[in-house]
Amino acid sequence: MAGLTAMEKKLAEYKCNTNEAIQLKLVRFPEDLEDDNTTFNPEYSHQVFGDDEVAFGYKGLKILLYYIAGNLSTLFRIEYKSKVNEKFDCVEADDVESKIREIIPPGFCTNTDDFVSLLEKEVNFKPFGMLLHTYSVHNEEAGEDITYQIYKADMTCPGFREYHERLQTFLMWFIETASFIDVDDERWNYFLVFEKYNKDGATLFATVGYMTVYNYYVYPDKTRPRVSQMLILPPFQGEGHGAQLLETVHRYYMSSPTVLDITAEDPSENYVKLRDFVHVKLCQDLLCFSPGKLMQGFSQEMVMEAQQKLKINKQHTRRVYEILRLRATDMGDAEQSRSYRLDVKRRLIGPYKKKQRELAKMRRCLRPEELTNQLNQIDLNMQHEQLEESFQQLVSDYRRVLERLAQA
């Protein structure tokens, strides 16, 4: 047993956390290759290396995935201090290289010299598709405003298919349930964010992030664009690019009379907060959301105007109303605060009322012992507590949206 434990300890030394082992870079200059400050790591690697996010068989494992900042040409290399060998009975190292090759497209570099040669040609890279929006963000470190541009592209753009194959590999590291899309389906739209920067007197472009949107058909003659994937690369996160991208996409579809409204596929909490901010920013100047009308309650006028002018559906419009009404409400005033709380809770209580209707049916259908079992699962006091918790969490989220709006 002691020998087995010793072997287990020995084998444990050859386990590597793949979130730490994978090193990503967006390279603009040759010196970036040796600069640790330009390196970032994945948030997830379970879709490639399993739920444990571990690679076995190596000490000091490094999985280098370096991308040229603009066209994303890739350098892939594996380094390690030592690897298990035949001394370990019936134990083999994981085939890390094959796992990575499954998600990165062919044509990558395996040595630094070839990669640097490609970097010298980066001056020829230009964004794909049609320019939709240009904006700037002040960079404190550089002491200047940096310009960014958002483009709409599709698979007919020369070179875009290959570029997208490289771009989508980032999804595996930063979206928990990511999957690659069918790019041969023409109903996909692609929206890309680029940074403009100078190198040796020339203007170059660096990839910042992107969004994919699928255009669903709605009978009889409308479409409903659904956001599928959205990613701002880590070096650019926290600078407002997600909001710029989502607002630009909304404005693009707002101009189309055939678009009914815009939705999202399985949105994350962060995406919902971002969407709330963008929706409120777009809606706040509509007359139907004036303080006077907000205090009269949620109205069909709000639903119609938000959908027709901004392509926002009823469910999302309701959230906009609640956020803007919070801004218009003096929560220090007992009557205004009570009115707001009851208004929001009336919406939140929907699922609980559904449970009560189910309980009423049970009373008619179930035997006493079965009913007792069901009642134990439906604690009304607990429901009230959960309702209050939901309300307080919502108000907290809404306040953050309003704080961000005040700074915009």
> Which residues belong to the active site?
265
Q: Provide the token pair at 154.
A: 């599709």
The total of other beta-carbon atoms located within 10 Å of residue 374's CB is 14
C-beta of residue 228 within 8 angstroms of C-beta of residue 265: yes
C-beta of residue 191 within 8 angstroms of C-beta of residue 247: no
- Residue 203 CA to residue 124 CA, distance in Å, equals 10
C-beta of residue 401 within 8 angstroms of C-beta of residue 273: yes
> What is the residue type of 114?
D
Q: Distance from first CA to last CA of the chain, Å, rounded?
A: 64
Q: Provide the token pair at 207.
A: 């990839």
- Residue 79 CA to residue 77 CA, distance in Å, equals 7
| Residues forming a β-bridge with 215 | 225
Q: Residue 23: which of 97, 79, 101, 68 has the closest Cα?
A: 79
- Residue 185 CA to residue 219 CA, distance in Å, equals 20
